Structure 1
Amino acid sequence: MSLFKRAVFSEITSHAGIVFSTLLVVWLSVLIVRLLGEAANGDIGANVVLGLAAFSSITALPVIICVALFVAVLTTVTRSYRESEMAVWFASGLSLADWLRPVMRFALPVAVVVAALTLYASPWAYGQIAEYRQRFEQRSDLSKVTAGQFIETDEGRRVFFAESPTHPGDELGRVVARIIEPDWLSVVTADSAAIRTEPNGDRFLVLGRGHRYDLKPGTPELRLLDFDHYGVRIESRTDPASLDAARQRALQEIKARPTLDLARLGDRESLSQLMWRLALPIAVLNLALIALPLGAVNPRLGRSGDLLMAGLLALLYMNLINLSRGWIGSGALSFGVGVWLVHGLFLALGLFLLWRRIRVPRRRRKTMRAVAG
């Protein structure tokens, strides 16, 4: 490999690594804050936050990689123009077209990685996310209660609060529960609570000494019950059959379906998702091509406008891919046209911009030779 190709490949790799790591850290920061908020609201368990963050990151990697590669190529070309390094390469007989080989040498393996992520890894990760959430939904109400937190279940009709246990053998300390029934509003308090499983598999929530208050809204009717022990049967919803059903429902999620299943089903929704999975690897190559002419700036002029235009063009590209996916899903656009239309337009745009950037230096060289002659 020549000195030029090694220098370009090395710099793009360095910039891509920095941009990728930065975007990934930002993504993880926002994602973990959102997941912790869901855990505090009782929508997910606190013990699955890290697992959901890992699987969600896998689903986000294709887009992050696309953006990182585009920015890496763009900044590499821009830096070469800004520091007059490009003038040295031009004086050596090279042109902007010679950048295509080292850039594509870097972009092709990245496109293969993105294809593996979108076609295989991301559907698996979406399936794991759906299964994690459905497993939590299948848990009993008490198993969602965490000491020191208010937990809403059954669409807000049940609210629990539990303290940490103070006696050995207790699973929970003092418990307060508010239960809304069709005719009654009940408040139950107990000194302790534990789950007992009978030999036949029946599960009971056993409360220690406590009180139950029943109020009928809109009437003065009130019932008061004191108890030493209060047992409530809990239907087990975590048996293997229900978990298998949860897995089947997770697989029915469109984003979790394997790629071969999408192609075999052939309905609009499946084809739109298949188009998205095929679009991202192609977008990697197109974005790398478009970044070459967009990164060519005049070092004597400001560069913020060119970089802003490049960012807007890349954003337009990704939005048009999303728009095409929506059109395919609604039937407004056929799969055969939608899968290549946007990529073909931006490939033509990238080649035109590259040809235009190459043509300008050639015209300048011819003019200088004519003046010198």
Structure 2
Amino acid sequence: MRVSSRVLPLRLSLIDRYMFREFLLNLIAVTSVLWLIYVATRFARYLAQAAVGNLPAEVIFSLLWFSSLGALSILLPIATFLAVMLSLGRMSSDSELTVIAACGISGNRIMRNVAVFSGAMAIIIAWLALFVVPQMNNDRYAIEERARVAANTGGVVAGSFKESRDGQWTFYSQGVSDDKQSMENIFIEIHRSQRPLIFRAERGHFEVDRMTGDKYLVLENGYRYEGEAGDLDFVIAEYESHSMLIEKGQQTEVRERQRTMSSMELWQRGHIRDLAELQWRFSSAIMTVILGLIAITLANAGPRQGRYAGFFPAVLIYIIYSNLLGVSRAWISAGTLPPLFGALWVHVLMLGVFAALYYRQRLRIYWRQLKNNAT
């Protein structure tokens, strides 16, 4: 099938190259600013966790690296949106769009360039969201869990006692490995008002259930003493491996684990929560194209309004769009919305917002005609 050169030109014209260059330069600038803000915020959060002993200081920069790369799929949609709006807004305030229109270049040409640019960014964002970011989140999650395990034993000094944070048990270890992941010659006393409970083990280490977030202390080759010494019901049990639940995983940890799963794994599992996560990843790419089109309507500032007149409405539209996607994701996970319908209604709604903004002049004329006919 032959495609008309008016739709897909073989060579980009000077105006097309100029617009794409403006889009790209603004995209780099906006992404850099947003990325630096995100990195600074994350760095402050990790420093706060390290200050209270919940996170070893040596893993801060590794976590910062993986989290900053994983944030690109979130930052690029709004960066593309703002880049298109700022580029066209500057061209409008400098009367460049007026000159372009006077040269016979229609608004459809501008819309086509914006669609091509946003579509290219959507492909990149889809690749990041579906394949790269889950792996980054998985690596970050693994480092965080190892760091939390190390934090549990970070205060353990060979030959000294340590009380748990909630005060329910006393811990003693004769030695701790260099990576702070395992211990030797362990003694644990569980504080109970009746029938004291004591554990002794040759080795031990902490483990975290990747699915539930529950934290366990796994003891190897030891004995379990229950009751008072000398009582008739005093119990001594020998074990090769014994797991003790130290901390129950929170719901946020379960959702965090879901973000680390690959897209293929989510599709194969087929649970409604997995499908909600999968649709969330697809939505970031669809969102990029729709926001790029909406940026066209916000960039055409009126007289004496300036190039940044549409900045506040743009941020407001993005917040509403992203929050509606979050609500749709929660509804799918809760079973309120069918996965087949999913987040489609949000994208259709925002396409309606684009159509209303793009044809707002015609809608005003039509509304005035209706009022005149009514009177």
TM-score in terms of structure 2 length: 0.69
Aligned to 2:350: 346
Contact 2:122 2:285 in 1 (8 A): yes
The alpha carbon displacement at 1:204 in A equals 4.8
Which residue identity does 2:22 align to in structure 1? E
- CA distance in structure 2 between the aligned counterparts of 1:46 and 1:9, rounded to whole angstroms: 43
What are the within-5 Å matches in structure 2 for residues 235-254 of structure 1? 235-237=203-205, 253-254=257-258
Contact 1:321 1:342 in 2 (8 A): yes
| Residue in structure 2 matching 1:111, options 122, 127, 141 | 122
Assess, with a 3 A threshold, how the Cα gap between structure 1 residues 307 and 137 changes in structure 2: closer, same or farther.
closer
**Percent of aligned pairs with the same amino acid:** 26
Aligned to 1:336: 340
The alpha carbon displacement at 1:79 in A equals 0.7
Assess, with a 3 A threshold, how the Cα gap between structure 1 residues 138 and 304 changes in structure 2: closer, same or farther.
closer
- CA distance in structure 1 between the aligned counterparts of 2:27 and 2:355, rounded to whole angstroms: 23
The alpha carbon displacement at 1:347 in A equals 2.0
- CA distance in structure 1 between the aligned counterparts of 2:328 and 2:68, rounded to whole angstroms: 24
Aligned pair 1:313/2:323, yes or no? Answer: no
Contact 1:127 1:251 in 2 (8 A): no
Aligned to 1:267: 271
The alpha carbon displacement at 1:91 in A equals 0.6
- CA distance in structure 1 between the aligned counterparts of 2:18 and 2:69, rounded to whole angstroms: 31
Deviations 1:30-76 (A, max 9, x none): 10111011112111211111111111112211111011110000011
| Residue in structure 1 matching 2:302, options 298, 301, 304 | 298
Assess, with a 3 A threshold, how the Cα gap between structure 1 residues 65 and 31 changes in structure 2: closer, same or farther.
same
Name structure 2 gaps, 5 residues minimum. Answer: 1-11, 192-199, 214-252, 365-375
Contact 2:56 2:151 in 1 (8 A): no
**DSSP-derived class of the 1:155 partner:** coil
Name structure 1 gaps, 5 residues minimum. Answer: 158-179, 206-215, 217-231, 361-373
Which residue identity does 1:311 align to in structure 2? V
Which has the larger helix fraction?
A: 1
What are the within-5 Å matches in structure 2 for residues 203-282 of structure 1? 203-204=184-185, 235-237=203-205, 253-282=257-286
Aligned pair 1:92/2:60, yes or no? Answer: no
Which residue identity does 2:305 align to in structure 1? L
The alpha carbon displacement at 1:131 in A equals 1.4
The alpha carbon displacement at 1:345 in A equals 1.9
The alpha carbon displacement at 1:308 in A equals 1.7
Aligned to 1:101: 112
Which residue identity does 1:328 align to in structure 2? I
Contact 1:12 1:76 in 2 (8 A): yes
- CA distance in structure 2 between the aligned counterparts of 1:80 and 1:135, rounded to whole angstroms: 51
Assess, with a 3 A threshold, how the Cα gap between structure 1 residues 81 and 295 changes in structure 2: closer, same or farther.
same
Aligned to 2:44: 33
TM-score in terms of structure 1 length: 0.69
Contact 2:175 2:184 in 1 (8 A): no
- CA distance in structure 2 between the aligned counterparts of 1:43 and 1:27, rounded to whole angstroms: 21
